[in-house]
C-alpha cells in the first residue's frame, strides 16, 4: 500500500491547485479523478459558457455594425462548428492541467476514489494510505422533481444538445439560467425563462435584478415570473410544458437550471466518519477541516461560495496549513463576481438591502445611460452603475454594474474596495475618457 502525504479526491479547480502547490513543496501527492481534468469550470461551466457567450454576442455585433457604415448580410451560424471548436479548446485545457500536475510530481490516478477508512483511499481496487486527505469533488446539477422531469437537460448536457433548439424553455432564475437564456437567445433560439420567484437573480441587488430582467426582455427573452411548472411531456410538436395555471409552453428542449448540490455520492464518507450538514454539503471549520481532523474539503462540495477563485483560495489555505506557515486565512468579504448575461452583470460588496441592515445610514449613487457605442448602433441597450456608500465612514461597501464587459471593469474596482477605498478616493480619481468605467468615479449626486 502506497503512503501518501496528501491524497486529493477530485481534479477540479480546488483539487488541482492544492495538489500542484503541495507537490511543488516536496510533499508526496496523489490525485484521483475519473473524468476530464479541470472539473466543472473547465469542462461544463465557466469556460465553455463564456465561449458560447462570445458566440452569441456576434449576432448583436453584426447588427450594431450597420450604424457604423457596414452593410451586407450577416454570416450564418453553424452550431456544429461552435461545438467542435469548443471541444478542441477544452481538450487543450485538460492537457495543460495534466502537465501542471505532472510537473509538480503529482501521481495522477484515473479512477473514482472512495474511502475505505479514515486514512485509506481505494481507487479501482488499488489502496493508498494518506496522512492527509482533501475532498474537492465539486457539485452537480440538481434536477427538479415533477412529472416528466427526465425529459429535461441540465447544464451538463446543454452544451452538446442536438439538434440546436429553435425553442428553448429554461427553468430557473439564477445566474446559470439567465446566462444560458441569454446565450441561446443570441444564437437564434426563441427562449422562454420560467421562474417561480418574483424576479431573477435572487441575492443580487434589487436595482440590478430589475435592470437586467428588462434588458434581457428587450433582447427577446420571454420572462415568465411567479410561474411554476406542473408537468412536462412529449407531444406531436415537441415538448409540452404545462404550468400550474393551465397554460402550455411548447419547446424543442427544456433546460433545468434550478440549482446545484454538493457531489458526495459514492465517496464512502461514512467509512471515514466525515459529517455532512443539513444542506448535504461537507461540514468544515474555518481552515476547511472536516469532522475528521486530517480530512479537509474545499470548493463547491462545502457550498460556501460556488466560484472558481473561491475554490482556489480555499485550497491555498489548506496547503499553507499542511505544508506552509499556517497563517493564510480565507476572507469571504467583498468577493467580486460576474454574471455573463447579455448585458453582463458585475458586482462586488454588499447589496443596498444588505448594507442598510448592516450600516443603517447610506448614500446611494446610481446612473443608467445609453453607452457611447449604441449612440450609432441603433441598439436600445442601456448600462446601470450603482455605488453603495456607508455614510458614517464614507467607505464604498457595494459596487454594481449591468453593462458590456461588467466583469472586466469591476475587477480593478474590487481591488480598490478591498483596500478600503472611500467615496472621496473615488471622487479624487480621474476617469478614463470616453469609457463607461469612468462613470464610477464621476458620480456626484446621491440618489438616496
Residue 275: partners with Cβ closer than 8 Å, 6 or more residues away:
269, 282, 283, 290, 291
Host H or E run for residue 306: none
Q: Could you tell me the CA-to-CA distances from 107 to 5, 100, 233, 278, 337 in Å, in that order?
A: 12, 11, 47, 34, 33
**CA 221 distance to own-chain centroid:** 20
DSSP 422: B
Catalytic residue among 57, 119, 400, 433: 433
| Backbone φ and ψ of 215, nearest 5° | -70, -40
Q: Which residue has cell 440618489?
A: 447
234 Rama class: left (phi>0) / alpha (psi -120 to 50) / beta: beta
Query: Is 433 a residue of the active site?
Result: yes
- Radius of gyration over every alpha carbon of the chain, rounded to an integer in angstroms: 24
**Cβ(339)–Cβ(178) below 8 Å:** yes
**Cβ(251)–Cβ(168) below 8 Å:** yes
**Cβ(114)–Cβ(265) below 8 Å:** no
Q: Could you tell me the CA-to-CA distances from 283 to 158, 274, 296 in Å, in that order?
A: 31, 8, 10
**Cβ(13)–Cβ(311) below 8 Å:** yes
| Residues recognised as catalytic | 433
Amino acid at each position: 500500500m502506497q503512503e501518501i502525504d496528501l491524497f486529493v479526491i477530485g481534479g477540479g479547480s480546488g483539487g488541482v491547485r492544492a495538489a500542484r502547490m503541495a507537490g511543488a513543496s516536496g510533499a508526496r501527492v496523489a490525485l484521483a479523478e475519473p473524468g476530464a481534468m479541470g472539473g466543472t469550470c473547465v469542462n461544463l461551466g465557466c469556460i465553455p459558457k463564456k465561449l458560447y457567450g462570445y458566440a452569441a454576442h456576434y449576432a448583436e455585433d453584426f447588427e450594431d455594425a450597420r450604424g457604423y457604415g457596414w452593410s451586407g448580410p450577416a454570416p450564418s451560424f453553424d452550431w456544429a462548428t461552435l461545438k467542435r471548436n469548443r471541444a478542441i479548446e477544452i481538450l487543450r485545457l485538460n492537457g495543460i492541467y495534466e502537465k501542471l500536475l505532472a510537473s509538480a510530481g503529482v501521481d495522477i490516478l484515473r479512477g473514482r476514489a472512495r474511502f475505505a477508512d479514515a486514512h485509506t483511499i481505494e481507487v479501482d481496487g488499488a489502496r493508498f494510505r494518506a496522512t492527509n486527505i482533501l475532498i474537492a469533488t465539486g457539485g452537480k446539477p440538481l434536477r427538479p422533481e415533477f412529472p416528466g422531469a427526465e425529459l429535461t437537460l441540465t447544464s451538463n448536457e446543454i452544451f452538446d444538445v442536438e439538434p440546436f433548439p429553435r425553442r428553448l424553455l429554461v427553468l430557473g432564475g439564477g445566474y446559470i439560467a439567465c446566462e444560458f437564456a441569454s446565450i441561446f437567445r443570441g444564437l437564434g433560439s426563441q427562449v422562454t425563462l420560467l421562474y417561480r420567484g418574483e424576479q431573477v437573480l435572487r441575492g443580487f441587488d434589487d436595482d440590478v435584478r430589475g435592470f437586467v430582467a428588462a434588458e434581457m426582455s428587450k433582447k427577446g427573452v420571454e420572462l415568465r415570473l411567479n410561474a411554476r411548472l406542473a408537468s412536462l411531456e412529449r407531444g406531436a410538436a415537441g415538448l409540452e410544458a404545462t404550468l400550474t395555471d393551465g397554460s402550455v409552453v411548447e419547446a424543442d428542449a427544456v433546460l433545468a437550471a434550478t440549482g446545484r448540490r454538493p457531489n458526495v455520492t459514492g465517496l464512502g464518507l461514512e467509512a471515514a466518519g466525515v459529517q455532512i450538514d443539513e444542506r448535504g454539503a461537507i461540514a468544515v471549520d474555518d481552515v476547511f477541516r472536516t469532522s475528521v481532523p486530517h480530512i479537509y474539503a474545499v470548493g463547491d462540495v462545502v457550498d460556501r461560495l460556488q466560484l472558481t477563485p473561491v475554490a482556489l483560495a480555499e485550497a491555498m489555505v489548506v496547503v499553507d496549513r499542511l505544508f506552509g506557515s499556517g497563517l493564510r486565512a480565507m476572507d469571504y468579504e467583498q468577493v467580486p463576481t460576474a454574471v455573463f448575461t447579455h448585458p453582463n452583470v458585475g458586482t462586488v460588496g454588499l447589496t443596498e438591502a444588505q448594507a442598510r441592515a448592516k450600516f443603517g445610514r447610506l448614500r446611494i449613487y446610481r446612473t443608467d445611460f445609453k453607452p457611447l457605442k449604441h449612440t450609432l448602433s441603433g441598439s436600445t441597450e442601456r448600462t446601470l452603475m450603482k455605488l453603495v456608500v456607508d455614510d458614517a465612514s464614507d467607505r464604498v461597501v457595494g459596487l454594481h454594474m449591468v453593462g458590456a464587459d461588467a466583469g472586466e471593469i469591476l475587477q480593478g474596482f474590487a481591488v480598490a474596495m478591498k483596500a478600503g477605498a472611500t467615496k472621496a478616493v473615488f471622487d479624487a480619481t480621474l476617469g478614463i475618457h470616453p469609457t463607461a468605467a469612468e462613470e464610477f468615479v464621476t458620480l456626484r449626486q446621491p440618489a438616496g
